[in-house]
């Protein structure tokens, strides 16, 4: 359960877009459909790196989601915050509260590349 003090900061609307295998094509490759989960989040910038003389940038961010998102997103999910798309830089973490075994919240390390 997300604690009240953290829930107050999870005030930004966001969408978690999951890919689900829906079948195979004529070549035997998996095909996918997407499902969207509307939730709220807190997006924290971590770092920005410029590449190729300032023409491209890679930003890393830490996305905080409510505890009820545990198990509902993965490293293949797409994360949309304010209409901007971010990709996961690894699987989500679900820290547990110190005084119980309940999930405290969900954290996902995100990347966004710009040209």
Whole-prediction pTM: 0.83
Answer for the pair 111, 54: CB distance below 8 angstroms, yes or no: no
Domain ranges of the chain: 4-114
pLDDT tens for each residue of the chain, 115 residues long: 777 777 788 999 999 999 999 999 999 999 999 999 999 999 998 988 777 666 667 889 999 999 999 999 999 999 999 999 999 999 999 998 788 888 889 999 999 876 5
Fold (CATH) for 4-114:
Thrombin, subunit H (2.40.10)
């Amino acid at each position: 359960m997300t604690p009240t003090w953290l829930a107050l900061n999870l005030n930004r609307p966001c969408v978690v877009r999951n890919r689900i295998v829906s079948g195979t094509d004529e070549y035997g490759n998996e095909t996918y459909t997407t499902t969207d989960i509307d939730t709220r989040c807190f997006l924290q910038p971590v770092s920005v790196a410029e590449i190729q003389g300032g023409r491209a940038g890679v930003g890393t961010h830490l996305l905080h989601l409510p505890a009820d998102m545990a198990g509902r997103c993965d490293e293949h999910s797409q994360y949309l915050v304010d209409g901007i798309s971010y990709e996961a830089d690894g699987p989500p973490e679900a820290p547990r509260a110190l005084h119980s075994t309940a999930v405290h919240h969900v954290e996902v390390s995100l990347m966004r590349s710009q040209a």
